Amino acid sequence: MDEILLKKMEQKIQDVISNKDEIKQLLQLFSNIDNSKSFVLGIVVGRIYNGFYYQSKRILNREPTKQEFEEFLEFVKNKKSALEDLW
């Protein structure tokens, strides 16, 4: 992954972690559907993926390649334990 893009993704992870109250509010709002950890992790990963896709288009002026997406998946996988502590 591009170095600038990687830094932006690290920033996005920190943003999500520092705004865990927002995640808790989303969980409460949708608790009638599902209040499991996997549901919340899906919301969190969705926010991070959105950042990845947006920053790829903004920084690289194109959609991410398959290789960049696979690197993003590995990045998220490596951050999973930090993300699970949000709730």
pLDDT digits (tens, 9 = 90+) for 42-70: 888 899 999 999 999 999 999 999 999 99
Q: What is the DSSP letter of 63?
A: P
Stated pTM of the model: 0.80
Contact 55, 8 (CB under 8 A): yes
Q: What pLDDT is attached to residue 52?
A: 95
pLDDT at 74: 95
Q: Domain map of the chain by residue range?
A: 3-84
Cα 78 → chain centroid:
12
Higher pLDDT, 85 or 5: 5
- Looking at residue 19, what is its pLDDT? 86
Residue with tokens 């599902």: 34
